[in-house]
């Protein structure tokens, strides 16, 4: 007696081919994704540095001096409500100018520098 029942579904070979294709796509996309994330963290550090630089200028207008700060102590500047998590920001001052540096622990390792004497971002 023969069984004429038709079977539907995927064979093991078809499933393995689909898994291999997904693996190849993941292997090519993951490094790009990681690089985009690092650049996003760098942009976060750059934004925090620019915000702190504007706060320094506002502080100077009110007090006729710049304020040295680092990390969360920079939130005492006008307009600086917080520093992003993982961002390292520091500002050093002289009598008539300030320099600031910022980087992010998960970024590309780039350190952004701001020099008020030279007009901003270096």
> The whole model's pTM is what?
0.78
Side-chain-side CA neighbours of 110 within 13 Å: the count stands at 15
Tally Cβ neighbours within 10 Å of residue 27.
Answer: 9
Identify whether 25 is part of a domain.
Answer: yes
CATH code of residue 19? 3.30.1300.70
Q: Which residues contact 120 (CB under 8 A, 6 or more apart)?
A: 53, 114
pLDDT above 70 covers a percentage of the chain that reads 95
Q: For the residues 83-92, what does the mean pLDDT come to? A: 97
User: pLDDT at residue 2 above 60?
Assistant: no
Collapse the DSSP code of 72 into the 3-class scheme (helix H, G, I; strand E, B; otherwise coil) and give the result. helix
Mean pLDDT of the chain: 92
Identify whether 2 is part of a domain.
Answer: no
- What's the pLDDT score for residue 10? 85
pLDDT digits over 19-62, tens only? 999 999 988 888 889 999 999 999 999 999 999 999 999 999 99
Identify whether 3 is part of a domain.
Answer: no
Integer Cα distance of 42 and 105 in angstroms = 9
Identify whether 4 is part of a domain.
Answer: no
Q: What is the extent of the structural domain holding 20?
A: 12-121
């Amino acid at each position: 007696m023969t069984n004429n029942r038709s079977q539907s579904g995927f064979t093991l070979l078809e499933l393995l081919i689909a898994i291999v294709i997904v693996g190849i796509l993941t292997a090519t996309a993951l490094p790009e994704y990681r690089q985009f994330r690092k650049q996003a963290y760098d942009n976060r550090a750059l934004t925090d540095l620019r915000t702190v630089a504007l706060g320094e200028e506002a502080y100077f207008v009110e007090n006729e001096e710049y304020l040295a700060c680092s990390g969360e102590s920079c939130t005492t500047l006008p307009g600086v409500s917080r520093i992003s998590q993982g961002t390292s920001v520091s500002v050093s001052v002289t009598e008539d100018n300030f320099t600031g540096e910022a980087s992010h622990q998960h970024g590309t390792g780039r350190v952004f520098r701001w020099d008020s004497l030279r007009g901003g971002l270096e």
